[in-house]
Amino acid sequence: MQFREAQLDNGLKIIAEVNPSAATLAAGFFVRTGSRDETPNVAGVSHFLEHMVFKGTARRSAAAVNLAFDEMGANYNAFTSEENTVYFASVLPEFQTDCMDLLCDILRPSLRQEDFDIEKGVILEEIAMYEDHPHFRLYDNLMRRHFDSHPLGNVILGSAESISNMARDDMQAYFDRRYSPTNVTLVGVGNLDFDAMVDQARRTCASWQRLEASRVAEPSRPVGSRGVITDAKLTRQNIGLMCQAPSGQDERRFAAQILANVLGDATGSRLYYALVESALADDAQMTYSPMDGEGALMTSVSTDPEKVAQVLGVIDEVFRKFIDEGPGEAELQAAKNKIASQATLSGELPMGRLTSVGFDWVYRSESVPLARQIDVMFAVSADDVLTLAQQCNLPNATLLTLGPLENLPA
């Protein structure tokens, strides 16, 4: 396993974790842009643009892009979050040149009006699709409530209204600003020829224009409010809680990962035993999201509407007990072992490793072998987790429920 890095004159960074014994390679462009970088008039543009990147370039039509990926048997896709847009493909090593050529090409899309108009319909369908998934609705609304006026509260997909009103030239302007090579990292993992990858990127990407692409980073100020969204059509009550947590640059992020696992792992955790084992809820989980300068712990629970008061009481009790005592030694070890297994299993797949290597670089400009990351995680003590739990102020989390209930129980 060898780590390599290079940079083009225009600022585009290229990094790779080369593993000659792997059967495949994965490569991707990590663009440091997402819904937090949008203004309200173009809400959802980052994600809409992600779709448009597959719709053709000066030398390829939309159909040609898709067929080129399919011809190499690539496993490919893209995703947009609050702060990253990632385009990735996994292929057999024999397709490295073709795959790099295609990825580099599509990152300068034509944004043709006709394609833009058709794709708008697809985005509106995607918005409607999430409307029929209560969990996603809860997430969007909880983020908005928790981060309030901070741009991390922006909904990734935007709204039907913002998408319908969006003009092609607005997207172009956003693209020009945010897809500057200084804001993009090309990442590779697996069985790849790094020098060839850099040569090819130089040929295709060196002409990309360097522009200022900064990110407004005022700290968020969550106030821990409580709210209800009533939807009489739903049968279950979905509960979400969110509190501040270490950022993606914070050393305490390993403790936060362990904290989320001890409290809210889906197959065995404090919340699991308190709520799911007894069937008070059919699902109870806590996830940790490290972000750029910010972080969040989200608890999500699905329960019967009439059990909400009881469930909220149990959650509060679990949180208060935890910030008094912290984790026990056995549950601390179990959480570490589960996180290590999960990281190992995901790291064995090129796509899993690609996102880890990419985000290590995007957030911290570092490359850390998986084994060393696991060692650092194992060094976290029970006290570290306890201290963090107290700092996160779990019992005063922002609370939102979605379901048939009209009011929150007192």
Applying CB under 8 A, the residues found at the interface with another protein are 21-24, 54, 62-63, 65-67, 69-76, 90-92, 117-126, 128-129, 131-134, 233-236, 265, 267-268, 273, 276-279, 282, 302, 304, 330-331, 333-342, 344-345, 348-350
The least distance separating another protein from the CB of residue 345, rounded to whole angstroms, comes to 5
β-pair type (281-290, 25-31): unpaired
**Identity of the residue, 91 or 362, whose beta carbon is nearer to another protein in the bound complex:** 91
For residue 121, give both structure tokens.
Answer: 């319909």
> Shortest Cβ distance from residue 136 to another protein (Å)?
11
* Residue of 233, 235, 109 lying closest to 168 (CA atoms): 109
Secondary structure (DSSP) of 51-64: HHTTSB-SS-BHHH
CB closer to another protein, 128 vs 206: 128
Sheet holding 295-303, edge to edge: 226-230, 398-403, 237-244, 295-303, 281-290
19 or 391: whose CB is closer to another protein? 19
Greatest alpha-carbon pair distance for the chain in Å reads 64
Q: How far is the CB of 277 from another protein (least distance, A)?
A: 7
Helices and strands (DSSP H and E) totals, the chain:
15, 11
DSSP structure class, residue 174: H
Chain-centroid distance of CA 334 in Å reads 25
Q: Which is nearer to another protein, 148 or 283 (CB)?
A: 283
The DSSP-derived string for 328-348 is -HHHHHHHHHHHHHHHHHHHT
CA distance 368 to 360: 8
**Which residue, 297 or 332, has its beta carbon nearer to another protein?**
332
Q: How far is the CB of 379 from another protein (least distance, A)?
A: 17
In whole angstroms, the minimum distance from the beta carbon of 125 to another protein comes to: 4
Q: Please give the Cα distance from 172 to 168 (Å, whole number).
A: 6
Q: Which is nearer to another protein, 53 or 291 (CB)?
A: 53
**Nearest-approach distance from CB 405 to another protein, in angstroms:** 14
Minimum CB distance to another protein smaller for 91 or for 171: 91
229 φ/ψ sector (left φ>0, alpha ψ -120 to 50, else beta): beta
- For residue 147, how many other CB atoms are within 10 A of its CB? 21
| Shortest distance, position 264 Cβ to another protein, whole Å | 13
**Among residues 281 and 389, whose Cβ is nearest to another protein?**
281
Q: Round the CA-based radius of gyration of the chain to a whole number and report it.
A: 22
Residue 18 CB, shortest distance to another protein, in Å, is 16
